[in-house]
Structure 1
């Protein structure tokens, strides 16, 4: 009887987790913008999106400069770069305003950013659960990247060590931009 109860509880938990996401693709999520208020990813439906979990006090933090350059270079062709600050690795400020001020002052970040979010562990946001399920697993560290294709369902993950100017990432972005919109 105990094993049936445990299985039922696990199944219920799985349904709740699946029910949280309910989005059929990455563009079906609504997040909080770093400035406050809603950030509807549906506004970028049909555009490739590079989602990066970020942190202000990490050895990879200088990647902000490369992400901004990618955004400036490929935005006219449709690429969206989305920064997602997270304190999951204990290297981020405690509030959105401080994160935004740092990004603005230090790296002149113009690409959209979400509010602080859990990207791994038991409190993982459903958006990051969606990305990790389709893009090779959860982030192991800050500046993990997920390239979401135009269809919003195809996701390719890139580890933190893959910088914004790494040929493999640039080629994947070029390929995603060249793909026909569905």
Structure 2
């Protein structure tokens, strides 16, 4: 049964893969988001960096991707990559508060890359970053599940998106990151 769900999710994710010509009234670096400790992250502090934005969840089958996200962060941070984890309960698989998420990530995965507060990533209540990504890149920027990845280039525009099925250390993601760093 799990195999059929997995295949169904893959087909749905492929079906919604699309992009649009963007007008970019704002770029990623014009936005802000609250970090896991409640402080506001002015994203302009990451100007001229490449960003991998990933909606995460503690109780998801893809949660093991935290290991690869941390490795990716360690490999490319000095070259200009910023990994930002966005814990979300949009798919009902996240802990109930930020301190639980922070402890879970630190204890189980030794996460040192930035994490935001628990944030909505889809629908009308989605955070402005995810609405911005959808408006400027299309349906493929909308997370269909946890561990959906949005790659932002140094100009602050969406470069590409990757489904939950694409592992952070996949050649597909690594090649794209190395090409835009």
TM-score with structure 2 setting the length: 0.83
* Distance in 2 of aligned mates of 1:108 and 1:165: 17
Measured against aligned partners, the alpha-carbon deviations of 1:13-68 in whole angstroms (never above 9, x if no partner) come to: xxxxxxxxx97100111111101111111110010000000000000000000000
* Distance in 2 of aligned mates of 1:163 and 1:142: 12
Measured against aligned partners, the alpha-carbon deviations of 1:68-100 in whole angstroms (never above 9, x if no partner) come to: 000000001000000000000000001110000
Q: Which residue of 1 aligns with 2:115?
A: 113
Unaligned runs of 5+ in 1: 1-21, 178-182
8 Å contact 1:134–1:155 — kept in the other structure?
no
Give the alignment partner of residue 102 of structure 2, picking from 100, 111, 114: 100
What is the aligned length? 156
Unaligned runs of 5+ in 2: 1-23
Aligned in 2, Cα 1:54/1:63: closer, same or farther, shift over 3 Å? same
1:150 equivalent in alignment to 2:150: no
Q: Which residue of 2 aligns with 1:84?
A: 86
TM-score with structure 1 setting the length: 0.83
CA RMSD of aligned residues (A): 1.3
1:162 equivalent in alignment to 2:163: no
Q: Which residue of 1 aligns with 2:4?
A: none
Q: Which has the higher contact order (CA 8 A, sep 6+)?
A: 2
